[in-house]
Structure 1
């Protein structure tokens, strides 16, 4: 059953993405200001398919810690493509820190630029950090809520990796605290996994930590993640 559901989801999501990718052309040419709303619609539809076809119930806790408006820094665990979609529905004006190569994907890439996402060329070294902070300034001035995945790549459920320092630099640079988020999304939509599993997917949002020195802040984010993970372990 899981395989059949996964086939249906992957096929329908692929077709939907292709159709909406083509449909985005008039948005890019004539209504660039509607790009974020269009991206939110696509995310909503893909996640609806995921829940409906794959038998997944999404449980979000800690919404009271998210801002209703204004700039914010969200440090989320990253296990799945799900994590790159859900924030479109949870935040008023999301801005993702993402790999720069994503902007070069046909149809999708130009829309990511129009929606105001923050591409970072990770191989650029010190220049990448300068660009990250410049992009952070722009997003904060535009009252965007910045979502960053400090692990740097998708990880397996329960896997622990050293966090990248970018989130600490952003917090120190802006004076904003960091809102930690833990998830078990990889159990249901695994990294590069064709089969999607049913069950209860948790997105657990915790109270903000910092600002603090880099080492302290990264430790606080890790500590918060471990505490939030108890929501689905129990």
Structure 2
């Protein structure tokens, strides 16, 4: 039954995505906030389908820790789900993403019009200064920059692999950084089509103020995110022991 529900959701998710991408083309004539409003319509429709078909609900916690103005948002990355849901919390958001995504027809047009921060990894040594410049400009506009410090999705429970890029951004930006913990990988695992019912929690933690040295910042960021994420995973496993069995199977498959 989980497989059937998951396949139905995935099919409708892509159908809704394609439909809104075509019908929403007139939005490209307006400013980034208008394009972001279309993105939130897509997110709400997708999360509604996820809840009604697969029984996966998304719960935000700690929203009081998220400033209304400019900041960095550094999130744990376990699943597609947090990428989808985070724009609902950030009022004027920009993801840090690879420039290749901007080249995708139609989808890339929306990314450009929404003024997302794109990294050209082919530039190598020039990529970081260019990223810092884009982020500083976005923060000066009062925007909230979303970055995944590990760079890619990591399996739930896997050892942390934080990259130094977030520390460089923090130092260059001179802005507060809001860590984000989550347990989304239990419900929408990476590289899996099986979506399991439950409450996926995305928690905004106490902000880290500007001014720390890079090493102290990285240590504090990783500690806060990993500690809080482990607690959220344990909370979900205690509420539904079947999730632990599914998680163990995924870990065993990954090991082989």
TM-score by length of 1: 0.93
Deviation at 1:39, TM superposition (A): 1.3
Corresponding position of 1:215? 215
User: Which whole-Å CA distance do the structure 2 matches of 1:40 and 1:127 have between them?
Assistant: 33
**SS of 2:170 mapped into structure 1:** helix
User: Which whole-Å CA distance do the structure 1 matches of 2:217 and 2:3 have between them?
Assistant: 41
Corresponding position of 1:170? 169
Counterpart contact for 1:2–1:54, Cα < 8 Å: yes
Deviation at 1:115, TM superposition (A): 0.7
Larger Rg: 1 or 2?
2
Q: Residues 32-43 of structure 1 correspond to what in structure 2 (within 5 A)?
A: 32-33=31-32, 34-43=34-43
Corresponding position of 2:79? 80
User: Which whole-Å CA distance do the structure 2 matches of 1:146 and 1:77 have between them?
Assistant: 14
Deviation at 1:12, TM superposition (A): 0.7
Corresponding position of 1:61? 61
1:179 aligns with 2:211: no
Deviation at 1:165, TM superposition (A): 1.7
Unaligned stretches of 5+ residues in structure 1? none
Residue deviations 1:77-101, cap 9 Å, x none?
A: 1111111111111111111111211
Q: Residues 119-158 of structure 1 correspond to what in structure 2 (within 5 A)?
A: 119-158=118-157
Deviation at 1:160, TM superposition (A): 2.4
User: Which whole-Å CA distance do the structure 1 matches of 2:121 and 2:189 have between them?
Assistant: 24
**SS of 1:70 mapped into structure 2:** coil
The total of aligned residue pairs comes to: 232
Residue deviations 1:150-200, cap 9 Å, x none?
A: 000011011123312222112111221211111111111111211111112
Unaligned stretches of 5+ residues in structure 2? 236-256
Counterpart contact for 2:95–2:146, Cα < 8 Å: yes
Root-mean-square deviation (Å): 1.5
Residue deviations 1:200-230, cap 9 Å, x none?
A: 2111221012431212111111110133121
User: Which whole-Å CA distance do the structure 1 matches of 2:103 and 2:160 have between them?
Assistant: 28
User: Which whole-Å CA distance do the structure 1 matches of 2:234 and 2:157 have between them?
Assistant: 11
User: Which whole-Å CA distance do the structure 2 matches of 1:84 and 1:58 have between them?
Assistant: 12
**SS of 1:196 mapped into structure 2:** coil
User: Which whole-Å CA distance do the structure 2 matches of 1:158 and 1:123 have between them?
Assistant: 32
TM-score by length of 2: 0.86
Give 1 or 2: higher helix fraction.
2
Corresponding position of 1:198? 197
Residue deviations 1:15-68, cap 9 Å, x none?
A: 11111111132222x33452111112111211221122110122221111011x
Counterpart contact for 1:39–1:115, Cα < 8 Å: no
Corresponding position of 1:52? 52
